[in-house]
Structure 1
Amino acid sequence: MLEVFLVGIVICLIIYRMKRYFRYWDQYGVKTVSSIYLLKELVKVYRRQRIMTDMCRNVYNAIPNARYFGVYQFSKPALVLKDPDLITELTIKHFNHFTDHQFMISEKFEPMWGKSLFIIKGQRWRKIRHIISPSFTSNKLKIMFGLITDCAKNFTEHFLQKNEDVIEVELKEVFKRFTNDVLTSTSFGLAVDSFKNPNNQFLDMAKKMFNFTSGFGNLIKFNIMIQWPALYEFLGLPVFDATVNDFFERLVEDTIQMREERGIVRPDMIHLLMEAKKESLKEKNIDNEKSEDTDTKNIELTNKDIAAQAFFFYLAGFDAVATAICFCCYEMVVNPEIQDRLRAEVEESFDNCGGAVTYDTINELKYFDMVLQETIRKWPPLFAMDRVCTKSFTIEPKVPDEQPVHLEKGSIFWLPIYALHHDPTYFPDPETFDPERFTPENKRNIKAGTFLAFGSGPRSCIGYRLAFVEIKTFLFHLLYYFEIVKTQKSQIPIKIKPTSPNLCSRDGFWFAFKKIQR
């Protein structure tokens, strides 16, 4: 009898706790999207009855005419921001209150992932970002430009040497080989020809790295990692295969040791990070003399930090850049007049520089910039981005039906990137691919806080300029020698893979390179 009574008390406590969780936003008068509705949407996605993009828009539109609304990540309350002014206020003006992402995988459990710039938090993030940022200035990008150009030329040469005039390819597969070659060269200082050697160790590691995004079981693991990182660690579920961590850590350690012993200097990311490490040691000594703050003292860039950042740049650039190029090429096939205009810009630039393409040549391709920005507007790298409240903050009411919303330390909000990019209020006729949105004149009319392809504020993507240089350089050489055309296997309109955590084609990007006689 006592056991039954105790079980009853436990059940009552659980019910009380759950009700308390799911009424969290009621105390602030925040309208919420019901958990039942969210669950139904997720089930439809998992059952492949709905794609993630439609779910994002449905949830975004579920509470119309609101600056924000509440959701529950299982038991965690979170706020979704819809108002661009509020997004700008929280991510830029009051960034000091919202500096972190919610991923909590520890360095001890997953050293490479846990030490990366995307994961680290607070003062350590500020310091590491400060140390690394100079590696992405225009002068440093110019240093790496030659390496990117070599990879782009190698790509075009590979296909120019083929006997066929029209070469059918699955774009994602061949573009991943290009991004692999660029990243191994610019990040690790190694020349890897993924066309002559398609089974190289880097591509093998990339397959293992991105295995967590494929398959239903891995999707469940991915959600556990985001929602319950402590449980994820307790279960001993690795983010990446152990061989991946060992490979990259050993590679960077060996590379640094060899360069230091032999005095080797190569214009790549490892060299820039080694230089940043030297600067961090100088700053550490200065900081330790000036400050007693234990949060800022003793923060320096170690070889393991360098390995983690090089690993993360590879992880972030391998698939995302290849996917962006795929969607850009898809839009060029669907809109051939855009491809023609891009090629005309390429040919004019090529003639003006006498074939000696430089960083400045690529930087001056203004129509390319417009096309790429429209590509990542329509096909952004992420559906949404999170921020965690690190210092309590109150959202003051701006309209009659609002009341102050107090965000405590640890509170979460989401930036609905895909939904904002497809909101006709901010981007009229959002499903139409229209680079004219990003002319210098029209860009001024794009409301701040609505174009979030690379995030917003100080925690936005640090490598976006490098990614743009890489894509523009590649497409410059590709479009000079080839026309991108559809084949019988081409899927237009494209079908999106339903359960993928980012945008990708369900059946691949099948198109062809048609040689242009030069």
Structure 2
Amino acid sequence: MHITPLPILGNSSKILFRQTSILDYSHDLYKTFSHERYYGSHQFNSPVLHIKDIDLIKKITVKSFDQFVDRNGSITEDVDPLIGKSLLNLKGQRWRDMRAILSPSFTSSKMKMMFELISECAKEFTKYFEKQNKTLFEVEMKDIFTRYTNDAIATVAFGFKCNSVENENNEFYKMAKEATKFSGTAFLKFFLYSCIPKLSKFLKLRLIPTPAATFFRRIVKDTLNKREKEGLIRPDMIHLLMEARTGIIVNDDSYVPDAGFAATTESKILHSETKPKLKLSDEDITAQALIFISGGFETSSTLMSFIAYELAMNEEIQKKLQMEIDKTLYKCNGKLTYEAVHKMKYMDMVVSET
């Protein structure tokens, strides 16, 4: 089952001419094929398979991931190195090797390690509002949440600390906004890559602006040099990739709650002395760290904005959630833990439903 495509434009004409949003387009497709487990459409000239069935999604992305290689990304590293070298665009054995390196970063034990870093960002975020000492304080929710997610990504993926609520114009925040901007010329470049990839390669169009790419390369290089010289260890993505580069993969056997679909199965490899098949360069590490920006910068802040809206519109839900938060913090003596968050059933319901 699929939607009949138009020449060249496929099924993307309504999105291209701004007659509908990607979200509404996806929702309409979902309703059109309400009884199907999967269905097809065309993104310009490329056929796209949409998977609806949850079990099938898990089978493809987790259990049988190694059978579904080579994404349809057409951006190669000779045109845009940071996008071309990311896991999203790698192909064949190189993709398999990179995925094997990155997967241990998303186990429950590694998430628990990184939880402390995100918690620190939350504390700084809270302190900012406490310092205002006002009964009523007006903010633009999307902006304030984007600044929080920016700080969380900076500390977890790049080992870089920045308080974007206090320091509104810090360079990391500005460059992250540039790297994720999807309007104007950026949209036109994406359209050309999707519709006429050969022309895009010939013109050597880069999706990430040069100033942003240069900035993130410098951040990663400086961090790597500092840690290698001083022997610094910090529980973040950079550290995990540094371990992978040297061939050391450590498995933490301590008990942690199962993060469900959000986490991968714990690695069974202990202190492997063998060198990884894929040699990770500074550029490779930067490319993988950038996935966090493209995957989490706008998405997480948008979700948080919708949660804030729904809680404002549903006061009884807000009160019930606040009671659970207060109860959890009381049990933790004011210091939230990874395990405590997993016990917050109502919080999980609110986030999941939003």
Q: Which category describes the TM-score, using the shorter chain as reference length? A: 0.7 to 0.9
After superposition, give the CA deviation of every residue in 1:464-516 in whole Å (9 maximum; x if it has no partner): xxxxxxxxxxxxxxxxxxxxxxxxxxxxxxxxxxxxxxxxxxxxxxxxxxxxx
1:249 is matched with 217
Q: Relative to structure 1, is the Cα distance of residues 336 and 121 closer, same or farther in structure 2, using a 3 angstrom cutoff?
A: farther
- Displacement of 1:364 in angstroms is 1.8
1:416 is matched with none
Q: State whether residues 259 and 265 of structure 1, in contact with CA within 8 Å, keep that contact through their aligned partners in structure 2.
A: yes
Q: State how far apart, in whole Å, the 2-side matches of 1:348 and 1:374 are.
A: 22
2:78 is matched with 108
2:328 is matched with 349
1:214 partnered with 2:183: yes
Q: State how far apart, in whole Å, the 2-side matches of 1:73 and 1:48 are.
A: 15
Q: State how far apart, in whole Å, the 1-side matches of 2:338 and 2:65 are.
A: 33
Residue number among 162, 179, 198 corresponding to 2:168 in the alignment: 198
Q: Relative to structure 1, is the Cα distance of residues 204 and 165 closer, same or farther in structure 2, using a 3 angstrom cutoff?
A: same
* TM-score (normalizing by structure 2): 0.82
More strand per residue: 1
1:372 is matched with 351
Q: State whether residues 11 and 44 of structure 2, in contact with CA within 8 Å, keep that contact through their aligned partners in structure 1.
A: no
Q: State how far apart, in whole Å, the 2-side matches of 1:344 and 1:38 are.
A: 54
1:323 is matched with 302
1:463 is matched with none
Indicate the SS of the match to 1:354: coil
Indicate the SS of the match to 2:180: helix
1:98 partnered with 2:68: yes
Q: State how far apart, in whole Å, the 1-side matches of 2:179 and 2:275 are.
A: 39
Q: State how far apart, in whole Å, the 1-side matches of 2:151 and 2:225 are.
A: 23
What amino acid maps onto 2:183 in structure 1?
Answer: S
1:270 is matched with 238
Q: State whether residues 105 and 230 of structure 1, in contact with CA within 8 Å, keep that contact through their aligned partners in structure 2.
A: no
Q: State whether residues 280 and 300 of structure 1, in contact with CA within 8 Å, keep that contact through their aligned partners in structure 2.
A: no
1:179 partnered with 2:158: no
Q: State how far apart, in whole Å, the 2-side matches of 1:108 and 1:38 are.
A: 26
Q: State whether residues 8 and 44 of structure 2, in contact with CA within 8 Å, keep that contact through their aligned partners in structure 1.
A: no
Q: State how far apart, in whole Å, the 2-side matches of 1:92 and 1:267 are.
A: 25
1:311 partnered with 2:290: yes
1:235 is matched with 203
Q: State how far apart, in whole Å, the 1-side matches of 2:332 and 2:312 are.
A: 28
Query: Counterparts of 1:380-419 in structure 2 under 5 Å?
Result: none
After superposition, give the CA deviation of every residue in 1:84-107 in whole Å (9 maximum; x if it has no partner): 676566556654442232002111
Q: State how far apart, in whole Å, the 2-side matches of 1:38 and 1:373 are.
A: 37
After superposition, give the CA deviation of every residue in 1:245-272 in whole Å (9 maximum; x if it has no partner): 2111122112111111112222222122
Query: Counterparts of 1:420-499 in structure 2 under 5 Å?
Result: none
2:257 is matched with none
- Displacement of 1:196 in angstroms is 2.4
- Displacement of 1:128 in angstroms is 1.6
Higher relative contact order (CA 8 A, sep 6+): 1
- Displacement of 1:110 in angstroms is 1.3
Q: State how far apart, in whole Å, the 2-side matches of 1:138 and 1:70 are.
A: 34
Q: State whether residues 33 and 63 of structure 1, in contact with CA within 8 Å, keep that contact through their aligned partners in structure 2.
A: no
Q: State whether residues 102 and 226 of structure 1, in contact with CA within 8 Å, keep that contact through their aligned partners in structure 2.
A: no
Indicate the SS of the match to 1:108: coil
* TM-score (normalizing by structure 1): 0.58
Q: Relative to structure 1, is the Cα distance of residues 86 and 254 closer, same or farther in structure 2, using a 3 angstrom cutoff?
A: closer
What amino acid maps onto 1:264 in structure 2?
Answer: L
1:55 is matched with 25
- Displacement of 1:198 in angstroms is 0.9
After superposition, give the CA deviation of every residue in 1:399-448 in whole Å (9 maximum; x if it has no partner): xxxxxxxxxxxxxxxxxxxxxxxxxxxxxxxxxxxxxxxxxxxxxxxxxx
Q: State how far apart, in whole Å, the 2-side matches of 1:280 and 1:104 are.
A: 32
Q: Relative to structure 1, is the Cα distance of residues 256 and 85 closer, same or farther in structure 2, using a 3 angstrom cutoff?
A: closer
Indicate the SS of the match to 2:138: strand
Q: Bigger radius of gyration, 1 or 2?
A: 1
- Displacement of 1:203 in angstroms is 1.2
Q: Relative to structure 1, is the Cα distance of residues 97 and 228 closer, same or farther in structure 2, using a 3 angstrom cutoff?
A: farther
Q: State whether residues 131 and 280 of structure 1, in contact with CA within 8 Å, keep that contact through their aligned partners in structure 2.
A: no
Task: Give the unaligned 5+ runs of structure 2.
Answer: 250-270
Q: Relative to structure 1, is the Cα distance of residues 374 and 243 closer, same or farther in structure 2, using a 3 angstrom cutoff?
A: same
Q: How many residues align?
A: 333
Q: Relative to structure 1, is the Cα distance of residues 353 and 49 closer, same or farther in structure 2, using a 3 angstrom cutoff?
A: same
CA RMSD, aligned part only? 3.0
- Displacement of 1:305 in angstroms is 1.7
Q: State how far apart, in whole Å, the 2-side matches of 1:95 and 1:185 are.
A: 29
What amino acid maps onto 1:338 in structure 2?
Answer: I
Indicate the SS of the match to 1:132: helix
Q: State how far apart, in whole Å, the 1-side matches of 2:133 and 2:275 are.
A: 62
After superposition, give the CA deviation of every residue in 1:275-306 in whole Å (9 maximum; x if it has no partner): 2222269969468xxxxxxxxxx423332222
Residue number among 338, 342, 351 corresponding to 1:359 in the alignment: 338
Indicate the SS of the match to 2:235: coil
